[in-house]
Amino acid sequence: MKILIVDDEMLARERLVSLLSELDNHFSILEAEHGVDALTLISKESPEIVLLDIRMPIMDGLEVAHHLAGLESPPAIIFTTAYQDYALEAFDAQAIDYLMKPIRKERLQQALRKARALNRINVSELRDKDDSKYSRSHLSATVQGNLQIIPVNQIHYLKADQKYVTAIWPGGELLIDDSLKSLEEEFASRFIRVHRNALVSLRHIQGMDKDEDGNPCIKLQGIESPLPVSRRHASNVRKAIRQL
């Protein structure tokens, strides 16, 4: 069985490795220092269980859990943390268990038994019930079987084409699974709707202008061609620009 330990503190990872070795020396143990590394490893190695710290740089454990919810066969998540404050959010993210540091061997063993009792179909069913409104710092998508992530603050705009949404960022374009409406609700303070099919990043707005036909359009940093702004949304966009 593969188990991934995700913690930015080396000593915490070493303790978990030691405890796991005492419980079963046949575990295949992987390690990651933060959430982005964890998602990359999970995509490549498909561990059955993830021992996941919550407070970490770059991407915290709660966001990692949110991204894993989108996988067809997600691993079981056991949160490991020194803080009680996140217990409710952890179980909202459908964690199998929540272990307080310093972690005791008996408590870890109990959590592992719970996780092993659930197969991946069961875990996937739990994830489907996750309706939390956690605001992410990254968006993710599965590309040719691999999980790809991009920082939200690097996205120039999001465009919808029927039921598909594409994120445009300096690295190119990424087709994501979220609806434009859900993204608008989640990132209301960071993106604004300029058209029924487009949200633009407030931090990348340079200003508004008019196209050759006199219709409003918006200029974005890093994007050569201005984007059309519908007359319905023009007033809100102008107001948002004045507040930048």
Quickly list H helices, the chain: 10-23, 35-45, 61-68, 87-92, 105-117, 120-128, 180-186, 231-242
pLDDT score for 123: 57
Q: What are phi and psi of 114, to 5 degrees?
A: -60, -45
> How open is the CA angle 170-173-174, to the nearest 5 degrees?
120
Which of 135, 146, 136, 158 is CA-nearest to residue 204?
Answer: 158
Is 89 buried (19+), middle (13-18) or exposed (0-12) by CB count in 10 A?
middle
pLDDT score for 43: 92
Q: How far is CA 236 from the centre of its chain?
A: 28
2-128 and 138-242: identical CATH topology? no
DSSP secondary structure code for residue 69 in this structure: T
* Digitized pLDDT (tens) for each residue of the chain, 244 residues in all: 999 999 999 999 999 999 999 999 889 999 999 999 999 999 999 999 999 999 999 999 999 998 988 787 889 999 999 988 877 777 677 788 999 999 999 999 999 998 887 755 465 555 554 445 567 889 988 777 778 889 999 999 999 998 889 999 999 999 998 899 999 999 999 999 999 999 999 999 999 999 999 999 999 999 999 999 999 999 999 999 988 8
- Residue type for position 167: A
Residue appearing with tokens 């404050």: 85
| Fold of the CATH domain 138-242 | OB fold (Dihydrolipoamide Acetyltransferase, E2P) (2.40.50)
* Cβ atoms 202, 190 nearer than 8 A: yes
pLDDT score for 73: 83
Q: Residue 121 and residue 242: Cα distance in Å, rounded?
A: 49
Beta pairing partners, 37: none
* Cβ atoms 152, 190 nearer than 8 A: yes
Q: Residue 212 and residue 133: Cα distance in Å, rounded?
A: 41
pLDDT score for 152: 94
Q: What does each C-alpha distance from 60 to 12, 47, 90, 107, 224 come to in angstroms?
A: 16, 19, 12, 23, 34
CATH superfamily, region 2-128: Response regulator (3.40.50.2300)
pLDDT score for 114: 87
* Cβ atoms 103, 58 nearer than 8 A: no
Q: Residue 122 and residue 120: Cα distance in Å, rounded?
A: 5
pLDDT score for 120: 53
Domain residue ranges of the chain, discontinuous segments joined by +: 2-128, 138-242
